[in-house]
Amino acid sequence: MASALVFLIVFGIVAAFWSAHRAAAEAALRIGRNACAAADVQWLDQSVQLAGMRLRRHPSGWIGIERSYHFDYSRAGDDRHRGRIVMLGSELREFVGPGRGDAEPLAFPRAG
């Protein structure tokens, strides 16, 4: 009986973490897509990539998970710039990308 209760508690914690993770990723996706549309730039790859997670204190004092996401966009079609979105829970904490911040073009080594 006790092992079933422990299993349910662990399962509940994992499910809550997964749900919060998906909510933050979907919010970052919307923010990146909307920022590219508003700046009239091409949003490349149609996705955001999780770049890192860490514990961070909310302004209310509670500890939460801060997630950093990267996304790529192009201004002219032949360049590639990297944007950054930082979410604390489901709240936007930082944005660097088209229209705000200074995102540098990505440099790729040439073959040959």
Q: How many Cα atoms sit within 13 Å of 83 on the Cβ side?
A: 31
Q: Answer yes or no: is pLDDT of 77 > 60.
A: yes
Each domain of the chain, given as residue ranges in start order, spans 2-96
Span 54-73, pLDDT tens digits: 999 988 899 999 999 999 99
The pLDDT of residue 107: 43
Alpha-carbon dihedral of residues 72, 18, 93, 75, nearest 10 degrees? 10
Q: What is the mean pLDDT of the chain?
A: 85
d(CA 62, CA 76): 43
Cα dihedral across residues 14, 20, 21, 26: positive or negative: positive
The pLDDT of residue 21: 87
d(CA 53, CA 81): 22
The pLDDT of residue 100: 54
Q: For the chain, what percent of residues have pLDDT higher than 90?
A: 46
Q: Answer yes or no: is pLDDT of 110 > 80.
A: no
Q: Answer yes or no: is pLDDT of 103 > 70.
A: no
Give the type of residue at 98: P
> Exposed (0-12), middle (13-18) or buried (19+): which is 75, by Cβ within 10 Å?
middle
